Amino acid sequence: MALIFHSGLSKDLSSILNDADDYDIIIKVGENKNTREFRAHSVILRARSPYFKGALSSSWITKEDNMIIFNKPNVTPTVFEMILKYIYTGELDLTEKSGEDILGLLVVSDELLLEELFVQVQEHLIEKRLSWVHENFIHVLYTVFKLDNCNKLQDYCLEFICINPQSFIISKKVSSLDKDILFNLLKRNDLQIEEINVWDCLIKWGIEQTPGLGSENNDRTKWNDENFEELKNTLEEFIPLIRFVGISRADFFDKVRPYKAIIPKNIYEEVVEFHYKDVLPKTATLPPRTIKTEKIESKIINPTLVKVIINWIERKSNIFTRNENDQRYKFKLIYRGSRDGINNESFRKKCNGRISSIVLIKVKDTNKIFGGYSSIGFCSLGNDYLIKDGYRFYKSSDNFIFSFENNYDIQNMKISRVVNDLKAILDHGGCNFGRGSLCMIEDKLYLNNGSGSYEKNLNTDIIYNIEEIETFVIDNQ
């Protein structure tokens, strides 16, 4: 039987890092006023890092008084301290570290060829630091696309754009987007945007990237042949990524035709033939992008947010990209406040029965949207209930409540799942998740989580006035 003593080994190596007096290398990290010297053992560095194994070979090293001096000005002291902790002990606690330092750790672990650490830091950013990633999205996007092996985080960033690209595509950020990022984005079949908008984005990007054009010369009616030729060279590898068959005849005439000079002649002629003779192109063969929308007759949310809610119902990631093989859902409107009345009586009359449902609530004087999903419905739920403090509670382990900052929000959304399934729904007022976790009383909305039945992500003492409220029953198709 093999005897394993990893914990003791890790503890002993940690003491060597912190207390030993036989170190043989000084590593100077950081720059300007943010610098620090670390003392370490070259034999441990070489054993744990392929980078140090090469960098500390006899032909590379610099010594002063028999001490190896190694400079790493591109690494901050905080990040390098984490690196040494990992190298010596194989342990690292990122709980209290900032998102910026963790991203820096990702970059440095890639440079030092610490593959195990690199993989785990990627996982940590995706699983534990999504809020920070979203808040610093452009910074993260540019950073991870400089790392060839950072495939998982690169894919996450592209999927994040694909699920709701409109705000990103129309922003000024697109004009300065890195070439490789744009190329990988336009390759994707799941980019959820009309193809003519993709074309407009590409043209805008190309103009900014082309010498002699840019913001000071973006009026194509004033261009000469050389300007068009330069733009053609800039966009040469991108043009085949445009799904021309997904552009309407009118948009092709108005927005694509004026740039005929930058499109290879064979592609242009095939697309013209497609629009006027219905002959599919042979060269421009990429299929139309798969734009999937869950149909919902809502005045409150758009189909992109519906997909997010469906992912939550299935306990998947916010940005999980749905395809034709995934479960489909049908949303049937059974109650709308502006039509039926915003009050308890109208809600209970229309939302009567034990059936999977969602409620959506738009509140006054803000763009915020609140809502909840109940796998058992809201009213007239039968005799299987719990009486507590004089209230009647119903059980569900699948319920959750949520919020969006606005109708296009996929960055600051919040979800609170039920944690006490015996008190998932309270039979009181209009709809009542838990006991005030999300509660409609007449034309007011409360989110104080009085019973603690749901996670506390939405808690607030604010009482909102309801502007619009909708309830949909959900059918699996």
Termini Cα distance of the chain: 55
The position carrying tokens 């970059």 is 107
Better-scored residue on pLDDT, 209 or 436: 209
Q: Which helix (H) or strand (E) holds 169?
A: helix 166-169
Q: What length does the chain have? A: 477
The pLDDT tens digits for 440-455 are 899 999 888 666 888 8
Domain ranges of the chain: 6-146, 164-277, 303-476
Give the span between the Cα atoms of 449 and 439, in whole angstroms: 9
| Mean pLDDT, the chain, whole residue set | 84
One fold for 6-146 and 164-277: no
Side chain identity, residue 155 = D
Whether pLDDT at 81 is above 80 = yes
Q: Does domain 6-146 have CATH number 2.60.40.1220?
A: no
The pLDDT tens digits for 256-309 are 999 999 999 998 998 898 888 877 777 766 767 766 656 778 888 877 788 888
Inter-axis angle of helices 225-235 and 195-209, to 10 degrees?
Answer: 110
Identify the top-confidence range among 4-13, 269-278, 314-323, 405-414.
269-278
- Strands of the sheet with 62-64, listed across from one edge: 34-40, 25-31, 67-72, 62-64
Residue 174: pLDDT band with limits 50, 70, 90: confident
Give the span between the Cα atoms of 79 and 62, in whole angstroms: 23
Instruction: Determine the CATH number of domain 164-277.
Output: 1.25.40
Picking from 3-12, 176-185, 242-251, 430-439, which range would have the lowest pLDDT averaged per residue?
Answer: 3-12
Identify the top-confidence range among 166-170, 239-243, 274-278, 317-321.
239-243
CB 321 within 8 A of CB 410: no
The pLDDT tens digits for 192-232 are 788 898 999 999 999 999 988 887 887 888 899 999 999 99
Side chain identity, residue 187 = K
Averaged pLDDT, 119-131:
89
Give the span between the Cα atoms of 177 and 206, in whole angstroms: 10
The position carrying tokens 């989110």 is 447
- Coil, strand, or helix at residue 166? helix
CA 64 to chain centroid: 48
Better-scored residue on pLDDT, 74 or 162: 74
Give the DSSP per-residue string, 249-290. Answer: HHHIIIIIGGGGGGS-HHHHHHHHHHHHH-PPPSSS-PPPP-
Q: What are phi and psi of 475, to 5 degrees?
A: -115, 135
CA atoms within 13 A on the CB side of 98: 8
CB 437 within 8 A of CB 449: yes
Give the span between the Cα atoms of 463 and 447, in whole angstroms: 8
Give the span between the Cα atoms of 300 and 108, in whole angstroms: 45
pTM of this structure? 0.61
pLDDT at 3: 47
CB 307 within 8 A of CB 162: no
Give the span between the Cα atoms of 474 and 373, in whole angstroms: 10
- Coil, strand, or helix at residue 396? coil
Give the span between the Cα atoms of 326 and 122, in whole angstroms: 27
